[in-house]
Structure 1
């Protein structure tokens, strides 16, 4: 079936009304019984199956059904570009979870093609704006493997902020893991920032893995896998954003 002839998913009328935020599903059923709900100009009944293509009114007021807000984490493998470009076979757009024909989710921010780890996927525009806006200092944590032994001088220079090009990076937190690895916590997200910081100190990044955004952890997911966030994870994420 072509995209032009495919019908949109349908749901029960009462569920449509409650999903639009008008009232509870039980209250929606009462409105249907009262005869004040019209579906495409006719009186609605409980067994009606409707979609966003239908015109639903309650006492003459048009009801708009917003799709549910969805949140996933994705363990992005190396080699996948987080830019949504349908013409690029390596673009993340070809690897996103399939939700429905009329609903899509997208990555929040970027993780460069040579790096791997945690990407947040959502259709929540407010969350995207708050996480990506430079005025909000949201923490993102990476484990970095470099080509030379990590020294105290290197760690202190990175912590203080590095100058490259026409910029100087914000001070950040570093913790050494072993001779060649350290964890770095950034509160900004400039293009290839960690790689350029290391390069300015004559180090080369061999592996870059992001494992935390705010309190959201990359645990229990194999490379290339995704899962929906739990209700508590979503709640904690928003609590942290509102507190910033």
Structure 2
């Protein structure tokens, strides 16, 4: 097992290998959230899915998360190769090589990717994709903060629904979610938080405050949640041209 530090980039590692990165979100069911880049065609997609993970990789992730849960620490899978994500959504790709990384953030906001589990294969199936769409930097901004809802059972996560660029990318886990239905989670429903204005740009910090209770709308239905642990944050490399 390697603990080699990797640079602050979403598409290449220290050896210059290029590939995709997927954030790991959740405990009971582990979701994978693709790290999108507006201006890199291969990565200009917002995607949420689940992978079949090796038991040893899963246990490494859960153990390391438990040790760092109160810190700004994230977890990603690096998958080497210039392969299109559409291979997953179309069912032509059924596995991918992955390496587990711990992502730490310093006081200046710089990210370090440290490999904590070496390469193994993960299974993927188009039926497990709960959200997939291309990013459009020319799209307009919504009036209010808008989220994608995903998860399973009582684990409900929110990913910021990426509209125009520049923007910020974030995933949080909710606490005490109320009013959510299974059909909200797969495919990922759109939730609006009417009490929080969209910043219309690359927000320097999350508009949702950890520990604060919010009401949201899914269609005409009201739901509520408390903002919990942040599983990803990026307002820099997301927008680089």
TM-score by structure 1 length? 0.21
Larger radius of gyration: 1
Please state which structure has a larger fraction of its residues in helix: 1
TM-score by structure 2 length? 0.21
Please state which structure has a larger fraction of its residues in strand: 2
